[in-house]
Amino acid sequence: MGVCFRFFCHSISNRDKACFMIDLHTHTDFSFDGHATGEEMLTKAAELGLEAIAFTDHVEMDCYTGPPYYSDAAAAGSFTLYERLKERAPVRLLAGIEAGQPHYAPEVTAFVLSAYTYDEVVGSIHNLRGMQDFSFMAYEDASDETIAGWLRDYFEEERLLAESGLADILAHLTYPLRYIVGDFGRQVDLAAYAGQIDAVLKAVIRNGMALEINTSGLRQNLGVTLPDEHFLRRYRQLGGERITFGSDAHYTKHLGLGLDRGIAMAKQIGFEKQCLYIRRTCTEVPLG
């Protein structure tokens, strides 16, 4: 068996090439921006030889019932989908949720997290308080100072999220860069935020969370994982051990994309294991 953990391997060929490809951040069409059914995602996961996937549909806690997210229907629909598919899924299916801004609305978050038996809670910040999602904003007319202020606020909110205990996994640490740098070509030197990012990483470690290596940036204009290698090295230096991988796929064609590159990078940095969450507890499995 070598380094493979028998329980998670489905076939001889998978053992040889794709053991422990686990995608813990994926979306179905119960997300407002999802474009694939749960069945389609599972079929694709089996085709790719993934060992497990989690459905982590968007529930934006700070605008729980309103458009454009319609989060109440997403939470109920996504979990019902999981329950309907889990027994006959061709790969292991985990019950997840991408909780947006959970610490902005802790009572709503507590309500949702108590209503469903999740395996994992992915914690994200998509917007600053009272503002729209970074993905909806236009940056061409914003001054460098304005953007710097948004990023200072963002990393402070990331720290507060990590301290909140409301999530198991800190998602896409450098999310605003996907748009500010990747889509709008504005220059951002994250060295200016190194102290703040250290505080986030230390909070992740102190609170027993996992840091997500979100591979979506590899297929997008940004061209790197979120966070990138530099901050993953820093996380490791600070004592970080818990990591997860997520493609953040909203289409079947993006499922599992970049996991191999992310795993190779993590190994090079010195990580040896990844977390698979069951009932909100990290089970460490090899990287592959």
- Where do contacts with Zn ion occur on this chain (CB under 5 A)? 98, 124, 248
Whole-angstrom Cα distance, residue 227 to residue 90?
Answer: 31
Q: Residue 276 is which amino acid? A: L
Q: What is the closest distance, in whole angstroms, from the C-beta atom of residue 198 to Zn ion in the complex?
A: 22
Alpha-carbon distances, residue 51 vs 150, 220, 256 (angstroms):
38, 25, 11
CB-closest chain residue to Zn ion: 124
Q: How far is the CB of 10 from Zn ion (least distance, A)?
A: 25
Q: Which amino acid is at 254?
A: H
E strands present in the chain: 22-26, 52-60, 92-100, 120-124, 169-170, 210-214, 243-246, 273-278, 281-286
**Would you state the structure tokens that stand for residue 23, as one six-digit string?**
């995608």
Which of helix, strand or coil describes residue 84? helix
**What is the side-by-side order of every strand in the sheet holding 52-60?**
22-26, 52-60, 92-100, 120-124, 169-170, 210-214, 243-246
Instruction: Give the bridge partners for 79, in sequence order.
Output: none
Give the angle 114-116-117 at the CA atoms, nearest 5°. Answer: 100
Closest CA to 44 of 283, 221, 257: 257
What tokens does 245 get?
């991988």
Give the Cα separation of 204 and 234 in Å (integer): 13
Residue recorded with tokens 């995602």: 41
